[in-house]
Structure 1
Amino acid sequence: MSPEFNQLFKNANFLRLWFSQIASQVTINMVNFALIARIFENTGSSVAVSFLWITYGLPALLIGPIVGPLIDLASKRKILIVTNLLQAVAIFSYHLFKQKLFPLYTIVFVYSLLDQFYMPAEGASIPYHVPKKLLPVANSLYSLTFQAALLFGFALSGPLIVAFGADMPFVLGSILLILAALSVYKLPKKENGQRHRSFGAYWQDLTYGYSYVRHQPFILFPIILIMGFQTGFSIIAVIFPSYINDVLHLAIRDASWVLVIPGGIGALLAAFYILPKVLGSVRKIKVIELGLLAACACLLSLGIVVPTLGGIVRSGVASLSAVLGGIAGILLLVPANTVIQEQTPPSMRGRIYGSLTFLLTIAVVAPTLLAATISDVVGAQMLVLILATGALISFFLIKTKGEGFVNYHLNTLKKGEN
């Protein structure tokens, strides 16, 4: 393990934040898998699954724009504690509504409403507890956690349902969220930031956050990149049941071992082996280009090669493709998040992450619904090929335009310093 990781793991406050993220992400992925399986098994429709993601996105559209300044003004520690506890209640309430499908969307809506406060507060908290030189490693670990939580959440959910019934992912999720609240409760109470400001100052903070992003190319570029990645990931999540059923010919509850676990292995390889070797010697934009190429190769394999195979060979190639996909996700997300945190002043981080959450939702909702509709008409395989084309186009755009864009603004910054 690298010295940077050793230093990070000795940071007790970071470990408290990290455990909260692990518990929160494992919970939402366990619950998502259980809900996706139930909805698809009852409806057989990707559109019905897409409504799950749209419901999750609605709170960001409703309150996302006003959350950022609140995060900067309030105690991030208190926000993390309260949201974890309320999300535990929301997940546990599944027992009251499990006989009908519609109330399940309500649970997702409430959880997401609370997430609009949790996610920006968590992202803005990292630099308070992690030295700047360790931010790339911390972001690598956080991005890995998102991938690993998908692995553990999806991998756990199916066996839990089979062994203990459909309620178990929700019970375990509630327990994990309570433990997450206890973990962040131990964070230092003192934080930087102003309190008790007037509405005029609050509104000024709100509008300035979006203006700041728009006029800061080194922040805008990674935000656009993350938006594109999240859109593609959301589309994959929506068509996942259909792809498993129509292309791999597997039961949904058994398919996580073919795609999800290999994806997590790829993320582990990228975070602990590939990134530590390349980030110190290779520019971040080159790492991003490599991530896009890996994503394109993964999707082309799933869309062209895997459907032509059969039996165990088909599953094996799909698993290898998923490993490549996990690597791609880390190579894209870690450099992008590191740039955002390096280029954002501490007093602006809550607003920037609040803006990011809102913009991600706007970017995801329409493509997700459109992709689900197309999937129901022409099949999930075609959607995978469309995503591969998008990744390839993105690579060429960054290769031909992005590097010049970065070099120009770097030279501008150097001239300004002189």
Structure 2
Amino acid sequence: MSDLSNRWKRNLLVFMGGQTVSSLGSMIVGYAVMWHLTVETGSAAVLTMSVAAGMLPQALVSVFGGVWADRHSRKMLIIGADTTIAVATLVLALLMLSGAGDLWMIFVAMAIRSALSGIQGPAVNAMLPQIVPAEHLMRVNGIQQAISSGMMLFAPALAAAIYASTGIVTVFFIDVVTAAIGVLLLLTIPVARMVRADEPASYFGDLLAGVRYVRGNASVRWVMGLVAIVMFMAGAPAHLTPLMITRSFGDEVWMLSVNELFWSVGMLVGGAMMAVVGPKVKRRVRLMVAAAVGVGLLVVGLGVSTSFWVFSVAGLVICILFQTLLVPAATLLQEQVEDAMRGRVFGFYGIVISVSMPVSMIVFGPLADRFTVESVMILAGILLLVCLLGVLTLAGARRSLATADAGADVAADLAAA
């Protein structure tokens, strides 16, 4: 890695401040649009279409976003994505002010926002090691996750207040302003464009090179695979907790609110914990495996819980363990993937994160209508533990994860120095 400016802390603070403001605006829009469609249509089909418009484009574009992050200025990609999102949102706001707020317009705007997030995500993750010393990446990733989780606690209340008092159009205008703030702050940060020794003839060539890299780098492949297994097996149980509460503990609104609060607080605490103690952990892959096993056991615990409060605390701890898995995984990829490939690797990683949980719901969700939610959770937890055991019995997987752990050990020594 090239020498980083002595002003990296200032640059990081400006960068994270801008991204936090911009992300908060996006979260507020997401909640407000969901409520707006619910109030205006009352249709489950419409909500399903809105979820598809808000998630699928990001998953599809993410891999190409990774290619662009390795070919072009990552800083300008982030600025371009944020600016285009702001323009699309502004156009929708003006159309709705004129009385032309058809549903398809909202879906198109959401799809545009989602697709551009697929460009922005890999660029942000790939750029971070350019402005943060390697020994501080774990701490910074933990802080980012804690901030994101904190916004998940704060954004729904803020979105509700703004939407209830002023309407959806005002929410869109606020998002335009927050995106502009993020862009203006990012413009003040110097980020060198990555210099490549070779330049493939096409984007498709770059994409194939990325596929070959992930396929040929067993450590990267197994780190991503470990995350995929946990996110897939635990994704549906995480989304089915409200259903289990209403069926098994009662349909009082406060119970549902407490459940959401505990899961959000768990993510916040987990991110903060990794920011404080994560850099000191030498065997990060072992920590990830332990977290994955803990998630499996606690998902089974969700299914056998007979007390609402035990159920809620188990959810809180699961979210702490999620962060104990995700923060080291992102840090390992940032540390051990060379700069020229980092964007593409995070493009594939973005697909793993964004697709695993929806696919989990597609597989496990229908089972919850045929069998008890408890049995589905127990099944998912047992399958997670079986899959982890299967991975750890493979000599190649153990060697690859041990190689990743050895590299993490060096980074931890640097952080402790």
For this structure pair, what is the TM-score category when the shorter chain's length is used for normalisation? 0.7 to 0.9
1:17-416 to structure 2, matched below 5 A, reads 17-37=15-35, 45=44, 49-60=47-58, 62-92=60-90, 95=93, 96=95, 101-167=103-169, 169-188=171-190, 190-194=192-196, 200=201, 202-231=203-232, 235=236, 239=240, 242=243, 249-251=251-253, 257-273=257-273, 276-277=276-277, 280-305=280-305, 308-309=306-307, 314=308, 316-361=309-354, 363=356, 366-375=359-368, 383-398=376-391, 400-401=393-394, 404-406=398-400, 409=403
How far did residue 301 of structure 1 move? 4.6
Rounded Cα–Cα distance in structure 2 between residues aligned with 1:183 and 1:409: 38
The answer (yes or no) to whether the contact 2:299–2:378 under 8 Å persists in 1 is: yes
Separation of aligned partners in 2, 1:179 and 1:407: 41
In 2, Cα distance between the equivalents of 1:223 and 1:105?
Answer: 31
In 1: Cα distance, 2:236 partner to 2:153 partner: 18
Contact 2:286 2:405 (C-alpha < 8 Å) held by counterparts: no
CA distance in 2: counterparts of 1:144 and 1:399, whole angstroms: 30
In structure 2, do the counterparts of structure 1 residues 211 and 357 end up closer, same or farther at CA, with 3 Å as the change threshold?
Answer: same
State the shift of 1:210 in Å.
0.9
Inter-partner Cα distance in structure 1 for 2:48 and 2:133: 40
Q: In the superposition, relative to structure 1, how do residues 317 and 410 fare at CA in structure 2: closer, same or farther (>3 Å)?
A: closer
Aligned to 1:416: none
Bigger shift: 31-40 or 178-187? 31-40
Identical aligned residues as a percent? 19
CA displacement at 1:199 relative to structure 2 = 6.5
The letter for the 1-side match of 2:225 is I
Once the two structures are TM-superposed, the CA of residue 258 in structure 1 deviates from its matched residue by 1.7
Deviation larger for 346-355 or 168-177:
168-177
TM-score by length of 2: 0.78
Does structure 1 conserve the Cα–Cα contact (< 8 Å) formed by 2:288 and 2:324? yes
Query: Distance between the aligned counterparts of 1:384 and 1:158, measured in 2?
Result: 32
* Closer, same or farther: CA 199–281 of 1 in aligned 2, 3 Å: closer
Alpha-carbon distance change, 371 to 44 in structure 1, aligned in 2, over 3 angstroms: farther
Q: Distance in 1 between matches of 2:405 and 2:164?
A: 59
- Measure, in 1, the Cα distance between the counterparts of 2:241 and 2:27: 14
> Are the structure 2 counterparts of residues 388 and 274 from structure 1 closer, same or farther at C-alpha, using a change threshold of 3 Å?
same
Cα offsets for 1:349-388 (capped at 9, x unmatched): 1121123234545545544444454456657655544443
Aligned AA (2:123): A
CA distance in 2, matches of 1:388, 1:149: 29
Q: Is the 8 A contact 1:40 1:241 kept in 2?
A: no
Moved more, 263-272 or 338-347: 263-272
3-state SS of the aligned residue for 1:107?
helix
**Separation of aligned partners in 2, 1:92 and 1:240:** 36
Residue correspondences, number? 396
Unaligned runs of 5+ in 2: 408-417
Of the structure 1 ranges 76-85 and 149-158, higher mean CA displacement relative to structure 2 is found in 149-158
Per-residue Cα deviation, 1:225-262 (whole angstroms, up to 9, x for no partner): 333444467646765765676565245xx778423433
What RMSD, in angstroms, separates the aligned Cα atoms of the two structures? 3.9
Mean Cα displacement is larger for which, 60-69 or 206-215? Answer: 60-69
The one-character-per-residue Cα deviations of 1:58-109 (angstroms, maximum 9, x if unpaired) are 3246444433222112111111112112222334555446965554433321
Using the TM superposition, name which of 112-121 and 53-62 deviates more: 53-62
- Residues 243/49 of structure 1: CA separation in 2 closer, same or farther (3 Å cut): farther
Structure 1, 54-63 or 371-380: larger mean CA deviation: 371-380
* Residues 86/278 of structure 1: CA separation in 2 closer, same or farther (3 Å cut): closer
Task: Give the TM-score taking structure 1 as reference length.
Answer: 0.78
Q: What is the CA–CA distance in structure 2 between the aligned matches of 1:139 and 1:396, rounded to whole Å?
A: 28
